[in-house]
Amino acid sequence: MQADRVLIIGDGQMGLVLADALAFRAVPTTIWSPFPDDARTLQTTRESPRLPGFRLTDGVQVTADDAAAFANATLIISAIPTQYLRQVWARLRPSLNATADRQHPTPPIVSVTKGCEIGTGLRPTQIIAEALAMPPNHPGLCVLSGPSIAAELARRLPASLVAAAPDQTLAKRVQDLLRVPWLRIYRHDDVIGVEVAGASKNVIALAAGMIDGLGAGANAKSALLARGLAEIARLGSAMGARIDTFFGVAGVGDLAVTCFSPEGRNRTCGERLGRGEKLDDILHSMKSVVEGVPTTKSIVQLAERLHVDMPITRAVHAILFDGLSPTDAIRELMQRELKAEQVG
Amino acid sequence: MQADRVLIIGDGQMGLVLADALAFRAVPTTIWSPFPDDARTLQTTRESPRLPGFRLTDGVQVTADDAAAFANATLIISAIPTQYLRQVWARLRPSLNATADRQHPTPPIVSVTKGCEIGTGLRPTQIIAEALAMPPNHPGLCVLSGPSIAAELARRLPASLVAAAPDQTLAKRVQDLLRVPWLRIYRHDDVIGVEVAGASKNVIALAAGMIDGLGAGANAKSALLARGLAEIARLGSAMGARIDTFFGVAGVGDLAVTCFSPEGRNRTCGERLGRGEKLDDILHSMKSVVEGVPTTKSIVQLAERLHVDMPITRAVHAILFDGLSPTDAIRELMQRELKAEQVG
């Protein structure tokens, strides 16, 4: 097989740190930004306000030109926030099709987005497939997920991820492509489970942050993590995921880092809510999208449609959108009727 | 049913914070210490070097007199480090028997010890049963476990625990007894699972601390947590536990707090190892028993006997007792052959 040339769609935190790993492997890599000004700044300064302290290796190209970006790409990484995925891929569809017409095999798409679309309840690979008029469960789609706080990857600290795909050849290709000393990538085949875990953990992380903001302690946060994992797994199961996926690196691993790392955006947002700040003020002051906020809306819709009980997610929704105070919500969760513990 | 009078065996951190909760409920409570000097100091000063900042409520009695301690007890909490459990209960057996002869029903014993006996590989309730010549799986035994960093419970911060017993009436009695605003107790029936989870998590916490000491970051620690949970669950399964127990509050909840709370003793010990300190020096400087250290020895023995693969536990053992450096161990774990992720 010929050597890959990778195109990263999105100049956010994950796009940047994956470009760094690919450059380390000497894989020709281009980052595409939706905004020409941002592309020019990143191309010139090699720095981004989205990931302070990170320097983009010189070999990586940055562009906002759709056709040029796709010209030679043999593999695409999609790193766009969930609620923008549909419009970005609708815009890029002609350029992707032009590439696909020119080369065989068609470039596969590896999604690193963690979220769930408001209204449709669709997972990132489902949104991409719809925007590109591809069949669902297309063998050219793969998900890369796991505990991956970008600030740590930017410093090349060790991390483990999973590459989940219906086609294990593609999962293996992603595994090989990112074989750098600081990354360990496991192959996986449960795309639904990995995506549901990646989306829902941001909601639990908002609640975990509130516990931090209230000073309620690590015992309470860890119990929340366990109960949150149980409700995420229930949702995944109702959506066709395998339960064991939630107890792996992309499940409980990602949930743990998101709830405990001081650098996570969702936990930080929750902490500021717990301290009494207003949601709008917090979101305006943050440079990157806080995926958990829109995802809470879509997960609550999904849980209602599938009749899955998700008390923590419901409480986060009430705090974000219905004015419930974090203190009251925590008290309410603590005072629910004592009963036998149920998992799954 | 008449009101309970509780005897707590052990004046360590868990004994102290549970005495505080019982006193809040106005349950007559006595703490027994194996050492007359310690008992006198605690009875007089109401403070303990084992839990700085904590003050024992005046109503709680402290004694080192075996017969007096057991005289009126209707329920006993056993809070003694694993490797001392057998000798303490052998000493107390005549006093317990004298009480049992006087009153019906016999006082049940609630164990809060987290560990596994070196040599025998026995769980705390098994050790107690052997020392008291009770049949295994005795209906008068219960386990109380979960994410419970004592420094937080001492400040009455909220926590969730499980009370696991073959007899759900006893689990419910423990649940009712400790119904205070800062504790939420779930009933459980998988005694084996809850005890295996409580013992093994201290080993994983040592590894998590080493990751902290090496500055390897929260991504690595969270991946370790997920892989650690998988190997703990494998061991539990081989011992007859239910897998889902490991994904509840006493499983992943306790594992998370032990790996992430800065106040955990096992994580702290691991962090100091990661920074290059010698094990003996660390243990000499700590006021409380670090359960994970002896437990690592017994879990490795158990895993070998049951043919369960536990790579993280094996690595911790090699670091503690065979001079492997934490840096080499982490590198080794990261570089294991890339493969499909397996859980359970």
Which tens digits make up the pLDDT trace of A1-11?
568 999 999 99
- Average pLDDT, whole number, for chain B? 93
Task: Name the token pair of B286.
Answer: 């700590």
CA distances from A252 to A245, A246, A247, A255 (A): 9, 6, 5, 5
Task: Indicate if the pLDDT at residue A106 is higher than 90.
Answer: no
**A219–B153: do the CB atoms touch at under 8 Å?**
yes
- Collect all residues of chain B within an 8 Å Cβ-Cβ radius of residue A339: 186-187
Which residue type is seen at A43?
Q
Residue of B nearest to A211 (CA): B158
Which residue type is seen at A230?
A
Q: Is B240 exposed, middle or buried (0-12, 13-18, 19+ CB in 10 A)?
A: exposed
Pairing of strands A141-145, A159-164: antiparallel
Task: Name the token pair of B83.
Answer: 């490797």
Instruction: State the complex-level ipTM.
Output: 0.94
> Which percentage of chain B shows pLDDT scores above 70?
96
For residue B147, cis peptide bond before it (omega within 30 degrees of 0): no
Residues B197-229: pLDDT tens digits? 999 999 999 999 999 999 999 999 999 999 999
DSSP state of A108: P
pLDDT of residue A3: 87
Please report which residue ranges of A149-264 form alpha helices under DSSP H. Answer: 150-154, 168-177, 191-214, 218-239, 254-260
Task: Name the token pair of B166.
Answer: 């073959």
Report the run of H or E that residue A61 belongs to, with start and end: strand A61-63
- Collect all residues of chain B within an 8 Å Cβ-Cβ radius of residue A204: none
Overall average pLDDT of the B31-51 stretch: 97
Q: Tally the residues of chain B.
A: 344
- Collect all residues of chain B within an 8 Å Cβ-Cβ radius of residue A187: 338-341
Kindly report whether the global pTM for this prediction surpasses the value 0.90: yes
CA distances from B148 to B17, B31, B259, B261 (A): 10, 19, 12, 10
Catalytic residue among B201, B278, B297, B339: B201
Please report which residue ranges of B46-119 form alpha helices under DSSP H. Answer: 66-70, 82-102
**B118 neighbors B297 (Cβ within 8 angstroms):** yes
Distance CA A16, CA A7 (A): 12
∠ CA B226-B230-B236 to the nearest 5 degrees?
140
Pairing of strands A75-78, A109-111: parallel
Residues A278-301: pLDDT tens digits? 999 999 998 778 999 999 999 999
Task: Indicate if the pLDDT at residue A344 is higher than 50.
Answer: no
**B147–A227: do the CB atoms touch at under 8 Å?**
no
**Lowest mean pLDDT segment, chosen from A67-81, A277-291, B85-99:** A277-291
pLDDT of residue B343: 47
| Sign of the C-alpha dihedral computed for residues B42, B44, B47 and B49 taken in this order | negative
Radius of gyration over alpha carbons of chain B, in Å?
Answer: 20
- Minimal C-alpha gap between A102 and chain B (Å): 33
Task: Indicate if the pLDDT at residue A92 is higher than 70.
Answer: yes
Task: Indicate if the pLDDT at residue B342 is higher than 70.
Answer: no
**A256–B256: do the CB atoms touch at under 8 Å?**
yes
Distance CA A145, CA A160 (A): 9
- Among candidates B159, B248, B338 on the partner chain, residue whose Cβ is nearest the Cβ of A341: B248
